[in-house]
Amino acid sequence: MKVSIRVNGAEVVADVEDRLLLAHFVREVAGLTATNIGCDTTSCGACTVLLDGESVKSCTVLAAQADGREITTIEGLAGPDGQWHPVQRAFHAEHGLQCGFCTPGMVMATVSLLAENPDPTEEQVRVGLEGNLCRCTGYHNIVRAVLAAAREGQGGAAPAARAQPERQAS
């Protein structure tokens, strides 16, 4: 079936299997490989992207379900001039990543969390990231990063979609 999904502001149109998972659409049709797949039971959150600005686990969404909608991945967070999103800045400043595999999903989950709760307590951050596993950091610095981004006060703003020509994926 044909789907048309706006990914980081650019329309991606493709003919795909009905069963194609959104995670694979992002990685292989849209060609954005930052979003990773870490499990097969919707447990780990590495595949988290924003669907119309809200965090979802893209491994448990069909591309078909996202047809006509808007997806944001970590590759779409920085501003048009390459300026980092406050959450990216905070993860770097607080050493909130080590191997980096969980990071794109963790960052997008954070963006969504702060959009809904711009001034969370530490407890709210920890519970708010219940759906995102990290094996490297012990979460300590991830929590610091989220709180730092919150403090910066702009952590919740979803990035403005960039106007880009429609791209036909084969």
Partner 1 sequence: MSIMGTRVLRTEDPRLLTGGGVYVDDLRLPELTWAAFATFVRSPMAHALITGIDAAAARDLPGVVAVITAADLPAAKGPTSEPLLAADRVRYVGEAVALVLTEERYQGEDAAELVSVDYEPLTPVPAVGAALRDEVLLFPASESNVVQTGTAGNCDDASFAGCDVVIERTIVNQRVAPVPLEGRAGAASWADGRLTVWCSTQNAQIARDTIARKLGLDSEIIRVVAPDVGGGFGAKVGIDRDVVCVAAAAHRTGRPVRWSEARSENLLGMVHGRAQQQSYKIGGTRDGHILAYHLDIVQDAGGYPRVGASLPSLTAQMATGVYDIPDVGADYRSVVTNTTPVAAYRGVGRPEATAAIERAVDDFAAEIGMDPAQVRRRNLVAPEKFPFTTPTGAVYDTGEYAAALDKVLAAVGYAGLRAEQARRRERGDTLQLGLGLSCYVEITAGDATDGETARLVVDGSGSATVYTGSSAQGQGHHTAWAMLVQDELGIPMDRVTVIHGDTDAIPVAVGTYGSRSLQLGGTAVYKAAAEVKDKARRVAAGMIEASEADLELDLGRGAWQVRGDPATGLSWAQVAQQAGPDGLTADVEFKASQPTFPFGAHVSVVEVDTETGKATLLRHVTVDDAGNIVNPVLTEGQRHGGIAQGAAQALLEEVRYDDDGNPLTSTLADYAAITADVLPSFELITMETPTNVNPLGVKGIGEAGTIGSTPAVQNAVIDAVSYLGVRHIDMPATPERVWAAIGEARAEQ
Partner 2 sequence: MIPASFEYQRAGSADEALVLAAEAGEDAKFLAGGHSLLPLMKLRFAVPEMLIDIGRLQELSYIRDEGDVIAVGALTRHHDLEHSGLLARELPLLACAAGCVGDPQVRHLGTIGGSLAHGDPASDLPAVVLALDAMLVIRGPSGSREVGAGEFFAGLFETALQPGELLTEIRIPKPAAPGWSFQKFTKRAIDWAIVGVALQGQQVALVNMASTPMRAAGVEQALAAGASAEQAAAHAAEGTNPVSDINASAAYREHLARVLVGRALAEARDRG
**Candidate residues 10, 13, 78, 158; the one interacting with partner 1 per rule CB under 8 A:** 78
- Could you give the C-alpha distances from 129 to 45, 71, 134, 162, in angstroms and in order? 9, 20, 10, 28
In the list partner 2, partner 1, none, the entry touching 91 (Cβ below 5 to 8 angstroms by class) is: partner 1
Helix (H, G, I), strand (E, B) or coil at 98: coil
Question: Cβ of 3: how many Cβ atoms within 10 Å?
Answer: 23
Q: Does 41 engage in binding with partner 1 (CB under 8 A)?
A: yes
45 binds partner 2, rule: CB under 8 A: yes
Q: Which of residues 87-146 bind partner 1 (CB under 8 A)?
A: 88, 91-93, 95, 97-104, 107, 122, 125-127, 129-130, 132-144
Residue 27: Cβ within 10 Å count: 19
Q: Quick check: 3 binds partner 1 (CB under 8 A)?
A: no
Shortest approach of partner 1 to residue 134 CB, angstroms? 7
Phi, psi of 15 (to 5 degrees): -100, 115
Determine if 19 is a binding residue for partner 2 (CB under 8 A).
Answer: yes
